[in-house]
Amino acid sequence: MNAIILTGAGIGIGDVAAVVRQARKVEIAAPVVERLRKARGVLDNAAASGQAIYGLNTGLGANLRTSVSGDTAAFQRQLLEGRSGAVGNPLPTDIVRAVMFARAAMLSVGGSGISPEILTALVAALNAGVHPVMPLIGSIGAGDLVLMAALGRMLIGEGEVEYQGQRMPTGEALVKAGLAPVRLAPKDGLSLINASAGSIGHGALVVSSALAAFGQQQQAGALTIEGFGANRSILDARLQAARPARGQEEAARQLRDLLAGGTATATTLQDPLSIRCIPSIHGALLAAIEQARDAVEIELNSAADNPLVLADDNAVMSTGNFHTAAMAIAFETLGLAIAQAAAASAARFIQLTGAGRNGLPKYLSPVGGASAGFVPLQKTVTAILAAIRQRANPVMLDFLPVSEGVEDHATQTPLAIAKCAEMISLWQRLIAFELMAAAQAVDLRKAELGAETAKIRAAVRAITAPLHEDRPLGADAEALYAALSSGKWQA
C-alpha cells in the first residue's frame, strides 16, 4: 500500500482511518522539513532577541510571568514531567495511533517551531508501532496537554508504551524497534503536547464510524420499509426538492437505490412517523456527520499551536488556535442527531414487533398463541435507547476555571467525542435489532425484494436464522451487532 504523505494540507478522516486500521505508513514531504527549519530559525532568533515566548522562556498557565533561564532543554523535560497527570484506563491502541497521526499532520502544517527531527521521530515511532500508554482522563478541551504528555515522554524515552501487543518500558521498546530517544530543543516539548490532537485524532475515528453506522441504518430502514409494507412514495425526489434541507435529498436517494427493483405495494396511505419521516431524520443525521467531518478536517490541516510561529512574517505570537469550540459543538450536535435516529429505529422495531400491522402476525411470531416472538426484545431496545439518551446530554459547558483563573474556559471536546463514540456503539445494537425484525417481517410477508434489499436480507440470514419458534434472540442480536461494529458486515 502507498504511504500517506504529510505535506501540510489535504489530510482527511479517511487518511486517519487508513493509518489506524490498515497500518498505512506515513512519510514526510521534503518541503515540510524545510518549512519546519525556517520556522525553527524564526523562533530561535526571536528568543535570542529577548522576546518573551510562552513555554520557551516563560512558565505555563499561572506561571506565565515566571521567566525561565539557563538550560531551556531541561525545562522542556520538566514541562513534560509536570504535566503527566492523566489517569484512568489507557486509551485503546487505535485511538492512540490516531492521536499520533493527527499531531504529526498538524505539525507538518508549520507554525509550531518544532525541530524537524522531533516530527521525524514521531512519524518513525508511529510507523514502527510504538505507542505511548495514554491514560484517558486528563483533558478538558483547552488543549490536550495533560493527555499528550505521554506522547512527549515516549519520544524522550520515558514512561511506558505498547509495542507488538505488549506493555513495556519505553526505553526497551525503542531499542527493539531500532529507534532512539530525542533531545528536546527549546519549545519542542510544548510543541508536542500543545494543540488538541487527542480530540482531533479520536474525533476522526468517530466520524468514520458514524459514516459506517449511517450506511447500516439506511440498510435497516430500507428493509423495514419492505417488511412493513410501507408507502415508499415518501422517497419521491420531488418531495425532497420541495424541502431542500441539507442531507435529506441524499438520504432519500440512497434509500431509493436500496429499494430499487422491489415489487411490494404500499399497504397504507400514511405510515407511522418513524417510517414516513426517514428522509428528514436520516438527512439531519447525515448533515450532522458532515459538520463533524468538516470540524475535524479543519483541525487536521491547521497550525493550532500556542505560541504560533509566522515564519513568513518573522513573528512569534500568542494564540488561542488550540481551542476546539467548533469541534465540541459539532460532536454534541452529532450526538443529538444519532440519538434522534436511534429513537426512530427503536420506534420502527416496536411497530414491526407489536400487535400486528399491515398483515404481519402479532410479535412477528409465525406460530401465534402464547408465543412471545420478538416482543420481549422491546424491553432491551428501550434499555439501549435510554443509555443513548443519557449520553446525548451536552457536556461542553461543564468546566471550572483552573490555573488561577488563567484558563477560565474549556470545551470538553474529548468527553463530547468519547460519549459520541459510545452512542455509536449502542446505536449499532439498535440497528442490529431493526435488521433482525425487518428480515423476519420480509420473510413472513414473502416480499419480492430488489437486488440491494435482497443482499441486506441475505447478510442478516447469514448470521441469524428466521424465527420459527421461541428461542433466545439475544445471542442472535449480539452476533449481528458484532458484524456491524467490527467492519465485517457485508451487505
Residues 346 and 434 placed together within one structural domain of the fold: yes
Residues 182 and 207 placed together within one structural domain of the fold: no
Q: Once rounded to an integer, what is the mean pLDDT over residues 256-279?
A: 88
Confirm if 472 and 442 have CB atoms less than 8 A apart: no
Q: Once rounded to an integer, what is the mean pLDDT over residues 356-370?
A: 89
pLDDT(242) > 90: yes
Q: Once rounded to an integer, what is the mean pLDDT over residues 405-427?
A: 91
What CA–CA distance (Å, rounded) separates 472 from 148? Answer: 45
Span 330-344, pLDDT tens digits: 999 999 999 999 999
Q: Once rounded to an integer, what is the mean pLDDT over residues 251-255?
A: 97
Span 45-76, pLDDT tens digits: 988 898 988 777 787 777 767 777 777 778 88
What CA–CA distance (Å, rounded) separates 1 from 26? Answer: 11
472 phi and psi angles, rounded to 5 deg: -65, 105
In this prediction, residue 67 carries a pLDDT of 76
Of residues 17 and 357, the one with the higher pLDDT is: 17
Q: Once rounded to an integer, what is the mean pLDDT over residues 436-443?
A: 97
Residues 160 and 209 placed together within one structural domain of the fold: no
Residues 130 and 244 placed together within one structural domain of the fold: no
Residue owning grid cell 461542553: 396
Residues 222 and 182 placed together within one structural domain of the fold: no
Q: Once rounded to an integer, what is the mean pLDDT over residues 366-382?
A: 94
3-class SS string, the chain: CCCEEECCCCCCHHHHHHHHHCCCCEEECHHHHHHHHHHHHHHHHHHHCCCCCCCCCECCHHHCCCECCCCHHHHHHHHHHHCCCCEEEECCHHHHHHHHHHHHHHHHHCCCCCCHHHHHHHHHHHHHCEEECCEEECCCCCCCHHHHHHHHHHHCCCCEEEECCEEEEHHHHHHHHCCCCCCCCCCHHHHHHCCCHHHHHHHHHHHHHHHHHHHHHHHHHHHHHHHHCCCHHHHCHHHHHHCCCCCHHHHHHHHHHHHCCCCCCCCCCCCCHHHHCHHHHHHHHHHHHHHHHHHHHHHHCCCCCCCEEEHHHCEEECCCCCCCHHHHHHHHHHHHHHHHHHHHHHHHHHHHCCCCCCCCCHHHCCCCCCCCCCCCHHHHHHHHHHHHHHHCCCCCCCCCCECCCCECCCCCHHHHHHHHHHHHHHHHHHHHHHHHHHHHHHHHHCCCCCHHHHHHHHHHHCCCCCCCCCCCCHHHHHHHHHHHHHCCCCC
Residues 255 and 146 placed together within one structural domain of the fold: no
In this prediction, residue 107 carries a pLDDT of 97
The boundaries of the domain holding residue 259 are 202-486
pLDDT band at 238 (very low <50, low <70, confident <90, very high): very high
Domain boundary among 165, 194, 223: 194
Residues 305 and 181 placed together within one structural domain of the fold: no
pLDDT(100) > 70: yes
In this prediction, residue 308 carries a pLDDT of 92
What CA–CA distance (Å, rounded) separates 265 from 361? Answer: 18
Q: Once rounded to an integer, what is the mean pLDDT over residues 148-174?
A: 96
CATH number at 455 reads 1.20.200.10
Grid cell digits, residue 261: 427493483
Domain-embedded: residue 491 = no
Within a 10 A sphere around the Cβ of 401, how many other Cβ atoms?
11
In this prediction, residue 140 carries a pLDDT of 86
In this prediction, residue 345 carries a pLDDT of 98
Alpha carbon 455 to chain centroid, angstroms: 28
In this prediction, residue 83 carries a pLDDT of 85
Taking the C-alpha atoms of 274, 275, 279 and 281 in order, what is their torsion angle to the nearest 10 degrees? 10
In this prediction, residue 357 carries a pLDDT of 80
Residues 157 and 206 placed together within one structural domain of the fold: no
Span 381-404, pLDDT tens digits: 999 999 999 999 999 888 888 877
pLDDT(265) > 80: no
In this prediction, residue 63 carries a pLDDT of 77
What CA–CA distance (Å, rounded) separates 262 from 315? Answer: 64
What CA–CA distance (Å, rounded) separates 431 from 144? Answer: 34
Confirm if 142 and 116 have CB atoms less than 8 A apart: no
pLDDT band at 300 (very low <50, low <70, confident <90, very high): very high
Domain count, the chain: 2
Of residues 348 and 410, the one with the higher pLDDT is: 348
Residues 214 and 235 placed together within one structural domain of the fold: yes
CATH number at 50 reads 1.10.275.10
Within a 10 A sphere around the Cβ of 152, how many other Cβ atoms?
31
What CA–CA distance (Å, rounded) separates 141 from 399? Answer: 10
Domain boundary among 194, 227, 244: 194
In this prediction, residue 61 carries a pLDDT of 73
pLDDT(437) > 90: yes
Domain boundary among 148, 171, 194: 194
Confirm if 126 and 15 have CB atoms less than 8 A apart: no
pLDDT band at 449 (very low <50, low <70, confident <90, very high): very high
Grid cell digits, residue 271: 405510515
In this prediction, residue 64 carries a pLDDT of 67
In this prediction, residue 77 carries a pLDDT of 86
Of residues 443 and 83, the one with the higher pLDDT is: 443
pLDDT(447) > 90: no
